[in-house]
Amino acid sequence: MKKIACFILLFSSATTAGAQQNTFIRNLLQRMTLDEKIGQLNLLTSDMDVTGPFMKENYKQDILSGACGAIFNAYTPQYTRQLQNMAMQTRLKIPLLFGYDVIHGHKTIFPIPLGEACTWDMALMEKSARIAAEEASADGLHWTFSPMVDIARDPRWGRVAEGVGEDTWYGMQAAKAKVKGYQGSDLAANNTILACVKHFALYGAAEAGRDYNTVDMSRRQMYQFYLPPYKAAIEAGVATVMTSFNEVDGIPATGNYWLLSELLRKEWGFRGFVVTDYTSINEMIPHGIVKNEYEAGELALKAGVDMDMQGGIYAGQLKKLVQNKKISMQEIDRAVTRVLEAKYKLGLFSDPYRYCDSQRAAAQIMSPAHLQAAREIAQRSIVLLKNSNNLLPLKKGAHVALIGPLADSKKDMIGNWSAAGDHKKAVTLREALQERVNLAYAQGANITGDTGLLKKLNITDTGRTDEMLQAAVEIARKAEVVVLALGESQGMSGEAASRSDIGLPANQRRLLEAILGAGKPVVLVLMNGRPLTLEWENAHVPAILETWFLGTQAGHAIADVLLGDYNPSGKITMTFPRNVGQVPIYYNHKNTGRPLDPNNKYTSKYLDVSNEPLYPFGYGLSYTTFAYDNLRLDKNSMRLRDKLRVSVTVTNSGALDGEEVVQLYIQDVTASVNRPVKELKGFQKIMLRKGESREVVFNITAEDLKFYDRNMQYTAEPGAFKVFVGTNSRDVAEAVFELQ
Active-site annotation, residues: 277
Q: Binding residue for ligand GLC (CB under 6 A) from 170, 200, 278, 707?
A: 278
Q: Quick one: residue 443, left, alpha or beta (phi over 0 = left, psi -120 to 50 = alpha)? A: alpha
Q: Which of 21, 29, 52, 471 binds ligand GLC (CB under 6 A)?
A: 52
Considering the complex, what minimum distance in angstroms separates the CB of residue 393 from ligand GLC? Answer: 38
Nearest approach in angstroms of CB 109 to ligand GLC is: 17
Strand order in the sheet with 240-243: 196-200, 240-243, 273-275
Among residues 21, 51, 65, 82, the one that binds ligand GLC under rule CB under 6 A: 51
Cβ proximity to ligand GLC, 281 vs 559, nearer residue: 281
Are the C-beta atoms of 112 and 415 separated by less than 8 Å? Answer: yes
Which residue lies nearer to ligand GLC by CB, 51 or 213? 51
Ramachandran sector of residue 471 (left: φ over 0; alpha: ψ -120 to 50; beta: rest): alpha
Q: Is 198 in the site for ligand GLC (CB under 6 A)?
A: yes
Rank residues 245 and 623 by Cβ distance to ligand GLC and give the closer one.
Answer: 245
Q: Is the dihedral of CA 570, 505, 475, 375 positive or negative?
A: negative
What is the nearest approach in angstroms of ligand GLC to the Cβ of residue 52?
A: 5
What's the min distance (Å) between Cβ of 425 and ligand GLC? 22
Residue from 630, 660, 664, 665 nearest 648 by CA = 630
Contact assessment for residue 546 and residue 119, using Cβ atoms and an 8 Å cutoff: no
Residue 136 or 432 with smaller CB distance to ligand GLC: 136
Sheet strands (E) in 262-381: 273-275, 308-309
At 440, the amino acid letter reads A
Q: Measured from the CB atom, is 137 or 254 closer to ligand GLC? A: 254
Tell the smallest beta-carbon distance from residue 104 to ligand GLC (Å). Answer: 13
Q: Residue with the closest Cβ to ligand GLC? A: 51
What type of residue sits at position 502? I
Torsion of CA 544, 547, 552, 553, to 10 degrees: -50
What is the C-alpha to C-alpha distance for residues 47 and 59, in angstroms, rounded to an integer?
Answer: 9
Nearer to ligand GLC, 277 or 293 (CB): 277
| Contact predicate 703/651, CB 8 Å | no
Our CB check for ligand GLC shows the closer of 166 and 495 to be: 495
Residue pair 396/475 in contact (Cβ under 8 Å)? The answer is no
Rounded CA-CA distance 531/573 in Å is 10
Q: At closest approach, how far in Å is the CB of 203 from ligand GLC?
A: 8
Binding test (CB under 6 A) with ligand GLC, winner from 121, 408, 495, 668: 495
Tell me how far, at minimum, the Cβ of 130 lies from ligand GLC, in Å. 20
> How crowded is residue 378: how many other Cβ atoms within 10 Å of its Cβ?
33
Phi and psi at 735, nearest 5°, equal -145, 165
Name the residue among 172, 229, 219 with its Cα closest to residue 199: 229
Shortest spacing between CB 221 and ligand GLC, in angstroms: 23
Least CB distance to ligand GLC at residue 419 (A): 9
Separation CA 705–CA 119 (nearest Å): 26
Q: Which ranges of 139-290 does DSSP label H, i.e. alpha helix?
A: 168-183, 219-221, 228-235, 257
Total residues in contact with ligand GLC, by rule CB under 6 A: 8
The contact pattern for ligand GLC, residues 69-108, with x = CB under 6 A and - = no contact, is: --------------------------------x-------
Sign of CA dihedral 435, 439, 442, 446: negative
What angle is formed at CA 493 by the lines to CA 587 and CA 728, rounded to 5 degrees?
Answer: 25
Closest CA to 399 of 476, 470, 484, 513: 476
Q: Which is nearer to ligand GLC, 549 or 724 (CB)?
A: 549
The closest alpha carbon to 606, from 618, 598, 614, belongs to 598
Length of the chain: 740
Per-residue x/- track, 227-266, ligand GLC (CB under 6 A): ----------------------------------------
CB of 158 to ligand GLC, least distance (A): 11
CA gap 340, 21 in Å, rounded: 10
Nearer to ligand GLC, 148 or 522 (CB): 148
Q: 337: helix, coil or strand?
A: helix
| Cβ 246 to ligand GLC shortest distance, Å | 11
Name residues whose C-beta falls within 8 Å of residue 110's C-beta, 6 or more positions apart in sequence: 104, 116, 128, 131, 132, 374, 377, 378, 551, 552
Site mask for ligand GLC (CB under 6 A), range 152-191, x = bound: ----------------------------------------
Q: Are strands 719-726 and 658-668 parallel, antiparallel or unpaired?
A: antiparallel
Q: Which is nearer to ligand GLC, 145 or 576 (CB)?
A: 145
The three-state secondary structure class of 501 is: coil
CB of 576 vs ligand GLC, minimal distance in Å: 25
Nearer to ligand GLC by Cβ, of 157 and 278: the residue is 278
CB of 275 to ligand GLC, least distance (A): 9
- Closest CB to ligand GLC among 146 and 567? 146
Give, as ranges, the residues between 137 and 156 that touch ligand GLC (CB under 6 A).
145
Could you count the other beta carbons within 10 Å of the beta carbon of residue 48?
Answer: 14
Q: DSSP assignment, residue 703?
A: G
Do the beta carbons of residue 151 and residue 163 sit within 8 Å? Answer: yes
What are the start-end ranges of the E strands in 341-494?
383-387, 399-403, 438-442, 481-487
Phi, psi at 655, each rounded to 5°: -105, 5
- DSSP H or E run through 363: helix 358-364
Which residue type is seen at 20? Q
**Contact positions vs ligand GLC (CB under 6 A):** 51-52, 101, 145, 198, 277-278, 495
